[in-house]
Amino acid sequence: MITRREALFGAAIGAAAVAALPAFSATVTKADIRGLAREKIALVAPPFVHPHDQVAKGGPKIVEFTITIEEKPLVIDADGTTLNAMTYNGSIPGPLMVVHQDDYLELTLINPDTNSLAHNIDFHAATGGLGGGGLTLINPGEQVTLRFKATRTGTFVYHCAPGGAMIPWHVVSGMSGAIMVLPRDGLRNDRGEPVKYDKIFYIGESDFYIPRDEKGNFKSYESAGDGYDDIVKVMRGLIPTHVVFNGKVGSLTGDNAMKAKVGETVLIVHSQANRDTRPHLIGGHGDYVWEQGKFANPPAKDLETWFIRGGSAGSALYTFLQPGIYAYVNHNLIEAVELGATAHFMVEGQWNDDLMTQVEAPKPIATN
């Protein structure tokens, strides 16, 4: 069991990190920033993404976001297994934030006093200050605002990193998400030609480590802290009990399957803050894949499966050519089928016989 006091011990480490930071604040830059336009964005829960321009209009600006941290129990599979989740804005993963290169991302992070733990945010896209983690550690009842310059393009993970053993525990309790920094003139293919997407979906993959009782059933706990000791034991075995997309087995299937049409181009952003994964679209491909997620590198073409390193976010651009139900899976198929990492696309449109035809339907084997 972890007490509030122990949780805040992480705060002490964070505070030390802050104190160690030299006072870099260059007033000239601050004056420049004061003159920039501001835009306030309302975030939406994954797999959807807030409206945004693919090609930036005008010069760099300050893009403001607000995220409220919610600690709450979430059901993560059909059997009702409960995770004492820690979330950015109530969802696993946290929402995708989109800005353009040279914009300033300004985040107000709120930790309501209904929570019991200290939290912060480490942006892999940010430079210095432990990705912002050193400047954002807040106790229940506090809020903080961080601004960083989006200097590099690509998709990047953000996650909670409140110090020591708290870091992996908070991450595998749900505290991760991604941001996308688009080039100001939009995405380009391997030949430098502009490419656009009609739809964007954000898939955040999580590995969960739920302790079991002596009969093998998943345990539930009154609070996150109550489960801490048991969960760390499972975590140290490195074998997740659940590997899921968007917080839950089946969160992107059935009623919640992602929808597209033949001819539509879809950008799928996929993050995994903790563990390697290998997305695969069954019956489809990655036309252009930024496997490492960084748009300054030319995308790989025509991939069958792509590799997302633990602690990174990548993206794949695909134009659907054939209607049907597509499964989008982590192609460790044990993780996809047994542990939960499966999503579905429902794609409407006309069938293309040229691409595929069942020449002869199943029938008894010819005997002569």
Partner 1 sequence: MSPFILKVLPVALAAAAVPVGLSLQAVFGDRQPHPVAMTVVLLSGSIIYPTPGEFLKEGRPQGNPRIERQLSRPLEIMAYQVGAADYADCVSAGVCQPAQETRAIPSNAPVTGVSYLDANAYARWYSQVTGGQWRLPSDEEWAFAAAERFAGEFEGVENDANNPARRWLTSYKAEVDLNRKPDPMPKSRGSFGFNSLGLADFSGNVWEWTSTCYVRTTLAADGSGVASSVDNCGVHVLEGLHRAYMSNFVSDGKSGGCAVGTPPDNLGFRLVRDHSGWASRILGWLGIV
* Residue 216 engages partner 1 in binding (rule: CB under 8 A): yes
Over the window 305 to 324, marking each residue x when it contacts partner 1 by CB under 8 A and - when it does not, the resulting string is: -----------------xxx
Which region among 77-85, 101-109, 184-192, 296-304 touches partner 1 (by CB under 8 A)? 77-85
The reply to whether 160 belongs to the active site is yes
Q: How far apart are CA 305 and CA 316, in angstroms?
A: 10
Among 53, 79, 198, 304, binds partner 1 (CB under 8 A): 79
User: Which residue type is seen at 362?
Assistant: P
SS3 for 350? Answer: coil
Query: By C-alpha distance, which of 152, 151, 119 is closest to 224?
Result: 119
Q: Which of 255, 355, 367, 368 binds partner 1 (CB under 8 A)?
A: 255
Judged by beta carbon, residue 11 or residue 76, the one nearer partner 1 is 76
Residue 340 and residue 322: Cα distance in Å, rounded?
25
Residue 360 engages partner 1 in binding (rule: CB under 8 A):
yes
- 52 as an active site residue: the answer is no
Q: How many residues bind partner 1 (CB under 8 A)?
A: 31
Does 367 contact partner 1 by CB under 8 A? Answer: no
C-alpha span between 113 and 221 (Å, rounded): 20
- Helices (H), strands (E): how many in the chain? 5, 21
Q: Which residues are paired to 187 by β-bridges?
A: 195
CB of 365 to partner 1, least distance (A): 9
* Cβ closest to partner 1, residue 239 vs residue 333: 333
Active-site residue identified among 100, 106, 170, 291? 170
Parallel, antiparallel or unpaired: strands 122-123 and 154-159: antiparallel
344 binds partner 1 (CB under 8 A): yes
Question: How distant, in Å, are the alpha carbons of 32, 45, 76, 113 from that of 173?
Answer: 39, 17, 11, 19
* Torsion angle, alpha carbons of 340, 87, 295, 30, to 10: 180
Residue 34 binds partner 1, judged by CB under 8 A = no
The yes or no reply on residue 354 touching partner 1 (CB under 8 A) is no
Of the candidates 80, 192, 193, 354, which one interacts with partner 1 according to CB under 8 A?
80
Q: Do the Cβ atoms of 138 and 146 come closer than 8 Å?
A: no
Closest approach of Cβ 161 to partner 1, in Å? Answer: 33
Residue 349 as a binder of partner 1 (CB under 8 A): the answer is yes
C-beta of 366: minimal distance to partner 1 in Å?
11
Is 71 considered catalytic here? Answer: no
Catalytic: which of 71, 77, 122, 287?
A: 122
Residue pair 211/45 in contact by the 8 Å Cβ criterion: no
Quick one: residue 26, left, alpha or beta (phi over 0 = left, psi -120 to 50 = alpha)?
A: beta
Residues involved in catalysis: 119, 122, 124, 159-160, 170, 175, 280, 304-305, 331
